[in-house]
Amino acid sequence: MYLLIVFIPLVTSLVSGLGGRFIGKLGSQVLTSLGVLMSATLSSVAFYEVGICGSPCYVEFLPWISSDMLRVYWGFQFDSLTVVMLVVVTYVSTLVHLYSIGYMSEDPHIPRFMSYLSLFTFFMLMLVTGDNLVQLFFGWEGVGVCSYLLISFWYTRIQANKAALKAMVMNRVGDFGLSLGIFASFYVFKSLDYATIFSLAPYYVDFQIPFLYWSFGSLNLIGILLFVGAVGKSAQLGLHTWLPDAMEGPTPVSALIHAATMVTAGVFLISRCSPLYEYAPKALLVVTIIGGTTAFFAATTGLVQNDLKRVIAYSTCSQLGYMIFACGLSGYSIGMFHLMNHAFFKALLFLSAGSVIHALADEQDMRKMGGMLNIVPLTYTMMLIGSMSLMGFPFLTGFYSKDVILEFSFAKYTIDSSFVFWLGVISAFFTAFYSFRLIYLTFFGEPNSIRSVVSKSHDAPVIMALPLMLLCLGSVFVGYIFRDLIIGLGTDFWGSALYVSPHNSAHIDSEFIPHMVKLMPVCLSVLGALASLYVYEKLALEIGSLYKTAIWLSVYKFLNGRWLFDSVYNYFVAEKLMSFGYHISFKTLDKGIIEFMGPSGLISLISTWSIRVSRLNTGYLYHSAFLMMLGAVIVLGVTRVCQMESDIAYVKLAFVQVICGLFYLGSVGRDSIKLI
């Protein structure tokens, strides 16, 4: 059963991808959806057995690599952490599959799309179920590849291809860090199995890895390198620029990437490696700071984006920042809980956005929307619930995890935790602001879209509405239902899956923080939402004129240009690397030194020298005669001079050579013919 969870999506993906021609459009839709549905059902059972009944399960499937000390198995490990991810991934994936049936109904490449979706799910399941770092890496790269395939699903669009390449390359930067982390952990622990690594971690606290003239604390180094991988995959500050561009794919793909799979892998990795991170305080510090700044950065950037999906993309980035810094503060369970909740309301938001975009004939610009309330009331309801859940409105799913994250970070009483606490609180305000900005611009106000489009637009059809409603239920109730199970004080749900060292734990402290602090994020969220509505209802014109002043315009440009990260990267990294690639490695090395030393250089060398040598034959008789004699002298000189011992020979030869030289000079001088 446990292996079926993982492999059903692979089988359906292969059948639909390779045999899509035979099973047809409907066949592939039904097959893949049923596949993930079965997988979801089985993962519910797994959740019950492993999570609730507390019986982790390990399956050693097949040997993979066996080379000296390195032994890697295709091994599967189902503990609490895995089953939480399993449930999230399979459920959201099922709903996305269902939704895609409606959303992609007009597309000519449905079998391919469904196949990619299922393959994506399969790789994500491989990632979360692996019991060693290599298998994690397999899934890690697999979701990267699938994200590439899905983002560039409409491969005729240049933007989609560019975005897909960017996603692939940015991810690869992170993956390089991850693979270095894996190498480092093999160097230190001589093993890649989680079980071995994590049980050995406490004994390697003082172990140093020498590198050039430095030496690094092994656990900190491994932690930071693994986190680099997480930064790439989870779009944390530094490698986040691919995520907003990944909006070029179909909307269900964005939902899958942003909600359940792919970006959550980073949080999963850190939680999975919690026994390692607990002994790596510096790595945790890095994780915390990066997570907090990402939350803040993405929240501010989301404020002024005009693309419907891009706003949600930045909110994903921001929420991932929350999860990461929760993990950085050793609140792994809270991070995972937020991940789970976020999966539901973010999938809901994306799919609702897809519904709006579908209704408006693929219009994504919020400035060209407005007044959709009466046209798509169901979608509006769904989006409102999703957004309120996102901003942590009390008694919705987001509230139960987000506020806990903030309380937890307040209760740590360290410098970095206060730093991320304040960033998180400010981000909460911004989150509410841009969520309601999105709702206002899309659903309220005057309709700004084209009349012919609006007159034909309609609410989501049943096949699209059903996933929305199910996700809506999740967005409302999941947080409440699972709160005590997952992050309740003293819950034994996690078993040995997560480890928090006692002096890092702040779970108890967070119960005793001032009520003002507990209420602050909620108040700020509500305030942000109201401010947003007020600004866009009453002050829209004043806002417009505000942007005419230089300072606000520059702020606007800064935020709308996403803190100018892309420009800086393009200018200082991409362009430099591209010009290096063209000028240095291509023109100078490949076309230059290597070709010069190699084929073309040899060709020109031989041809020029053969021309020079053949030019010796000038056609003049006396030159030929001279060369004959010169040749004779050289042959005689070479063959005889060694054998001759008498001084006469030397004298004679010297005489002959002097005469020859004179003749040579004479002939060159008189004719000024360049023999050589």
Partner 1 sequence: MVWGISVFKLSIPFIIFFIGLSGIFLNRRNIIILLMSVELMLLSINFGFILFSVYLDDIVGQIFSLLVLTVAAAESAIGLAILVIYYRVRKTISIESIRLMKG
* Residues making contact with partner 1 (CB under 8 A): 613-622, 625-626, 629, 648, 659, 663, 666-667
Residue 389, token pair as written in the block: 């859940």
CB closer to partner 1 out of 1 and 641: 641
Distance, CA of 341 to CA of 475 (rounded, Å): 7
Distance, CA of 438 to CA of 432 (rounded, Å): 10
Q: How far is the CB of 641 from partner 1 (least distance, A)?
A: 18
Q: How far is the CB of 650 from partner 1 (least distance, A)?
A: 13
Residue 600, token pair as written in the block: 């073309």
SS (H, E, C) 381-403: HHHHHHHHHHCCCCCCHHHHHHH
Q: How far is the CB of 619 from partner 1 (least distance, A)?
A: 4
Q: How far is the CB of 659 from partner 1 (least distance, A)?
A: 6
SS (H, E, C) 113-142: HHHHHHHHHHHHHHHHHECEHHHHHHHHHH
SS (H, E, C) 442-474: HHCCCCCCCHHHHHHCCCCCHHHHHHHHHHHHH
Distance, CA of 428 to CA of 57 (rounded, Å): 38
Q: How far is the CB of 652 from partner 1 (least distance, A)?
A: 8
Residue 655, token pair as written in the block: 């005489």
Q: How far is the CB of 668 from partner 1 (least distance, A)?
A: 12
Q: How far is the CB of 609 from partner 1 (least distance, A)?
A: 13
CB closer to partner 1 out of 454 and 644: 644
CB closer to partner 1 out of 491 and 618: 618
CB closer to partner 1 out of 625 and 636: 625
Question: Pick from 421, 439, 420: which is nearest to 521 by CA?
Answer: 421
Give 176: exposed, middle or buried? Use CB within 10 Å, 0-12, 13-18, 19+.
middle
CB closer to partner 1 out of 70 and 665: 665
CB closer to partner 1 out of 601 and 666: 666
Distance, CA of 620 to CA of 656 (rounded, Å): 22
Q: How far is the CB of 640 from partner 1 (least distance, A)?
A: 16
Residue 4 makes CB contacts below 8 A (sequence gap 6+) with: 38, 39, 42
CB closer to partner 1 out of 541 and 621: 621
Distance, CA of 669 to CA of 222 (rounded, Å): 76
CB closer to partner 1 out of 394 and 666: 666
Distance, CA of 159 to CA of 312 (rounded, Å): 19
Give the N- to C-terminal CA distance of the chain in Å, as an integer: 84
CB closer to partner 1 out of 502 and 619: 619
Q: How far is the CB of 600 from partner 1 (least distance, A)?
A: 25
Q: Which residues, in sequence order, are bridge partners of residue 210?
A: 215
Residue length, the chain?
676
**How far, in Å, are 630, 657, 671 from residue 661 at the CA level?**
9, 6, 15
Q: How far is the CB of 615 from partner 1 (least distance, A)?
A: 6
CB closer to partner 1 out of 582 and 655: 655
